[in-house]
Amino acid sequence: MDRQNSIEHLLPNEIEKRSFEIISKELKERGIELPKEEEMVTKRVIHTSADFEYTKTLVYSKHAVRIAKDLILNGADIVTDTNMALAGINKKTLAGFGGTVHCFMADETVARIAKERGTTRAAVSMEMATKLKKPLIFTIGNAPTALIQLYEMLKDQRFRPEFIIGVPVGFVNVEAAKELILETEVPHIVNRGRKGGSNVAAAICNAILYELKKEQSGV
Amino acid sequence: MDRQNSIEHLLPNEIEKRSFEIISKELKERGIELPKEEEMVTKRVIHTSADFEYTKTLVYSKHAVRIAKDLILNGADIVTDTNMALAGINKKTLAGFGGTVHCFMADETVARIAKERGTTRAAVSMEMATKLKKPLIFTIGNAPTALIQLYEMLKDQRFRPEFIIGVPVGFVNVEAAKELILETEVPHIVNRGRKGGSNVAAAICNAILYELKKEQSGV
């Protein structure tokens, strides 16, 4: 019963506000001041992970957040390598700007080609996405092979993504694949190291979408 | 170019195997020996988060994994509070045992009732789930209010869930809500503290499903 007394009674819309207040307070206590442009993105990643380590590992290329926002304002689509990120990205808000989220991981053609070639569905998914005739934000939350495929297509001058959110999680090739993207000139948000995931991928997209919505409503 | 040399060339099915080998090796280096029954669940949570902290915070009630497996063998359904966990749980494997995953978060009736009562959709979703006439494994990856609702229904003897996976993430009421569940007699897997999330929720369910499949195929 004591435990129940420690529950704060808040209305649903107050919970998120209170969460961000706690995050801001703890960042201050840790002496961390986030660059204004990146602040709401990094905070939303902390909100989705309860992990302040992201303040040290998230890498933003120059004006990355502004560039991602402008792409969305110009109707960019999002391509992701995970159905969980597809589920988590706010598709309604993106649609309001004219964009759609694509995930080809469950596509049967992708599965067949991947099997034939002995490669991952994620890598083949990236190739499928190049056929979309729109500016594209690649949001990779799971497969380092997706990042490697993007890097190789870029190097061979076969395809240039407009933006890469590179936050796969894991133990095999994840760190190396992220470093490849960090070397490129493609605007990016990458989480260095092993951590990341579809929740982080969705949080980054949603932070950008919510900020844009706020900017547009003049709040 | 040097970076590319650090990429391990593995076939898709080798990547997961190699990941678990690395996790096992690093657990050993840290002097951590996981109880046999819980081992594959905790390892899959590390696999999905790249975060070894879970070895210290995941709490299993007595024979929790065995109980969850038996529930699934008896055709239990899974109820979750997040569409991302719904996307991430292996529904095909669960269906093989006769189970389904339910998520009522996008249900319009749930949204309306929540608004009328000034409560969260997650809390109302839990009430909706009580109408399902099957053994239920509640898998909470997002909303502490879902855990609080389950606790209150249990205390009032209105409803008793068969199993609770309590891994919401966040800063408001998350820790306290998890402690409430830890006090109950309901079999559970709970991650103490702030961390968790829909990825962790899905990983726990999938670990149990994959182990069951292995047991059944006699591997």
User: Residue A196 corresponds to which tokens in the numbers above?
Assistant: 């990341």
Pairing mode, strands A136-140 and B101-103:
unpaired
**Nearest residue of A to residue B46 by CA position?**
A170
- Cα–Cα dist B3/A176, whole Å: 6
All domains of chain A in start order, with CATH: 57-217 (3.40.50.10230)
B90 inside 8 A of chain A by CB: no
Does the structure show a pLDDT above 60 at A3?
Answer: no
**Residue B58, helix vs strand vs coil:** strand
- Cα–Cα dist A127/B60, whole Å: 43
Instruction: Return the pLDDT at B217.
Output: 86
B89 inside 8 A of chain A by CB: no
What's the maximum distance between 2 C-alpha atoms anywhere in chain B? 64
- Cα–Cα dist A48/A84, whole Å: 14
What's the maximum distance between 2 C-alpha atoms anywhere in chain A? 64
pLDDT band at A217, cuts 50/70/90? confident
Q: What is the mean pLDDT of residues A31-39?
A: 98
* Interior/surface letters B101-119, b for 16+ CB within 10 angstroms, e for the rest: bbbbbebeebeebbeeeeb
Task: Give, for all 219 residues of chain B, the pLDDT tens digit.
Answer: 455 667 888 887 899 999 999 999 999 999 999 999 999 999 999 999 999 999 999 999 999 999 999 999 999 999 999 999 999 999 999 999 999 999 999 999 999 999 999 999 999 999 999 999 999 999 999 999 999 999 999 999 999 999 999 999 999 999 999 999 999 999 999 999 999 999 999 999 999 999 999 998 875
Cβ <8 Å between B50 and A23: no
pLDDT band at A1, cuts 50/70/90? very low
A177 inside 8 A of chain B by CB: yes
B164, B157 contact by CB (below 8 A): no
Does the structure show a pLDDT above 90 at A32?
Answer: yes
State the best of A3, A43, A53, A121 to mutate against chain B, taking most chain B CBs within 10 Å: A3
User: Residue A12 corresponds to which tokens in the numbers above?
Assistant: 């649903």
Instruction: Return the pLDDT at A20.
Output: 97
Cβ <8 Å between B199 and A50: no
In this prediction the ipTM stands at: 0.95
Burial of B218 (0-12, 13-18, 19+ CB in 10 A): exposed
User: Residue B148 corresponds to which tokens in the numbers above?
Assistant: 């609080």
Does the structure show a pLDDT above 80 at A219?
Answer: no
B194 inside 8 A of chain A by CB: yes
pLDDT in tens, A100-151: 999 999 999 999 999 999 999 999 999 999 999 999 999 999 999 999 999 9
For the beta carbon of residue A24, count every other beta carbon within 10 angstroms: 14
B52, B112 contact by CB (below 8 A): no
For tokens 């990643």, what's the residue? A45
Instruction: Return the pLDDT at B89.
Output: 98
Cβ <8 Å between B199 and A199: yes
Instruction: State the catalytic residue, choosing from A9, A47, A63, A188.
Output: A47
Instruction: Return the pLDDT at A8.
Output: 87
Instruction: Return the pLDDT at A4.
Output: 62
Q: What percent of chain A has pLDDT over 70?
A: 97
A177, A148 contact by CB (below 8 A): yes
pLDDT in tens, A158-192: 999 999 999 999 999 999 999 999 999 999 999 99
Nearest-CB residue to B183 (from A3, A87, A151): A3
